[in-house]
Every structure is written in C-alpha cells, then in structure tokens.
Structure 1
Amino acid sequence: MAGWVLCMTLLLAALAGVLGQLQYSRFLRQHVDYSQMSAQLGLRYCNTMMARRQMTNPVCKYTNTFVHAPAADLVAACSQVPNSNGMYSTTYAMSITVCRLRGGNTQPPCNYRGRQARHYVRVACQRGLPVHLDSTSTTP
C-alpha cells in the first residue's frame, strides 16, 4: 500500500511539473518577444505577431502585451518578494508593445493597433517560472 501511495505521489508531482512547463511555454508564446522584429515590422508588428503566436484563431484576442526582454529577466522577477496580491514585479522597466484589437469584430481577419512603452511587468509565478502576465505599470 505504501508503494502505491509513493507511486501516485511521484506521478502527481511529475504531472504538476509538466503542467507548469506547459503554462510557462504558453506564457513565452503569448508575451515574450526578445527579437528585432518590432523594429523591422513597425506598424504591422501587432497584426503579424498576434497571428504568428496563434492568438487570432478561432477568434481575435482583444488585447495582448509583448515584452521585449530576455525570458530570463522575467524568470528573475519570480525570485522577488511578491506584492499583497501574490504578483511578482520586474526590477526594471522593460520595453513592451500592447496590441489592441481595432473595432469590435472578434472574427478574423484581425486588425490590431500597437502602443509601445517602458513599464515594469507584473507576473504570476509557479515553481519559479512566470505563467501569467498580470499587468504592467510605470512604477515598480
């Protein structure tokens, strides 16, 4: 009986680890773009990135924020002291692009407007990895 309990505990731990990795991978896909793409695409950046990152099918995602910093810098936020809501903030303001859907139609083709800024980024973390972009702010 003890062997069965140990086996189930190990299985559940492994599944939790896999789920955490999947959530982190999804976070990276949806929010991290540390490339020169934003400079190359200019006004078309949001339309291109939202489609490329699979956020326009079957419906257009209304808003999304891309962080233009290394993923490691967002992982580092998870080692900071969380705020009262359990969110972790980056230690410096990062370059971001906020993409918002133009018009009210959420059916493709999607048309986005982008706004660039420098903000601190707040994330939810699990097992030391960011899994949800909570908000951005001009103050830490």
Structure 2
Amino acid sequence: MALQKTLSLLLLSLLTLLGLGLVQPSYGQATNKKFKWQHVDSTETGGNNFYCDTMMQSRGMTRPTCKQLNTFIHENIETINNICNAPNIRCKNGRMNCHVGEVRVTGCKDTGSSPPPKCSYQATAGKKNVTIACDGNPLLPVHFDGYILP
C-alpha cells in the first residue's frame, strides 16, 4: 500500500513538472534527430543531380517510394539551431513555432523517371531563406517547413 502511494505521488509530481514545462518530453530530441537525418549535410555543398540521387538513397528516402521533395541544408548545426532564435512566425500547419533564416541548400525534386529505390532527382542549389519549425527546451529544429519566396 505504501509503495502504491509513493508511485502515485511520483507520477503526480512528474505530471506537474511536465505541466509547468520544467521537464521536457523527448519529442523534441527525437524529431530533431529525424530533422538532422533528413535535412542536414554540413560536410558538402551539394548542388547537382548526382548529389541528390546519392543522398536521397543513402538517407533512406527512396524506399518504399521516392520522396517527392527534400531539402538539404549545408551549414553547421549551430548555425541551423540559431534559426530557432529568430522571431516566431506562423507555420504552414498554423502553429506559431516557425522561424526564418538564410542558409545554403540543395533542393531535390523527384523526376519520376526511375522507380524506387533508384529514384532520380533534379537538384536546385543556392542560398535561400528557409522556414524551420522548432520545439523543445532549448528550442531545436524539428521540421523543414519550406522556403520563403521573394
């Protein structure tokens, strides 16, 4: 009986801390890891179709189907994380946790000319203003929301 009371108090305390925002669930960290896997390549400058074909396949975005669009950011992770410090703007899904920053990118678009897993991509490279959703404490990038068009 005493053990059940202790466990109940611990659970209540944890829920209280979560409610106050003092303990963050691992959602932000897990989605940040996925974001980095899908969108960050700080060691390359990208820019051509071969780069897109190779990266999309090596990062598992050509199975079971060819991912239609993906963007790789060619900056160090600190630069990308700092985008989360920019003022909040509305994301495409309506949430107010997006931020804008200028980074070097390679956009990869499926040409539809090759079946998975040997998908064929067309690359577009350059410096772009991008929108990134951030979550967690500290704020970390969790979703690439798109480009800011001029």
- TM interval, shorter chain, is 0.7 to 0.9
What is the alpha-carbon distance in structure 1 between the residues aligned to residue 147 and residue 43 of structure 2? 20
Alignment partner, residue 111 of structure 2: 102
Offset of 1:84 from its aligned partner? 4.0
Alignment partner of 1:4 out of 4, 11, 25: 11
What is the alpha-carbon distance in structure 2 between the residues aligned to residue 58 and residue 102 of structure 1? 16
Note if 1:136 corresponds to 2:147. Answer: yes
Instruction: Tell me if the contact between 1:122 and 1:136 (Cα under 8 Å) persists in the aligned partners.
Output: yes
TM-score normalized by the length of structure 1: 0.81
Higher deviation after alignment, 97-106 or 9-18:
9-18
What is the alpha-carbon distance in structure 1 between the residues aligned to residue 32 and residue 66 of structure 2? 22
For the aligned residue pairs, the C-alpha RMSD in angstroms reads 2.7
Identity of aligned residues (%): 30
Structure 1 or 2, whichever has the larger Rg, is: 2
Note if 1:89 corresponds to 2:89. Answer: no
Instruction: Tell me if the contact between 2:42 and 2:76 (Cα under 8 Å) persists in the aligned partners.
Output: yes
Unaligned runs of 5+ in 2: 1-7
Aligned residues: 135
How has the CA–CA distance of structure 1 residues 37 and 84 changed in structure 2, closer, same or farther, with 3 Å as cutoff? Answer: closer
Report 1:1-140 matches (<5 A).
Answer: 1-9=8-16, 17-36=25-44, 38=46, 42-85=48-91, 86=96, 87-90=98-101, 93-103=102-112, 107-127=116-136, 128-137=139-148
Report the secondary structure of 2:71's partner residue: strand
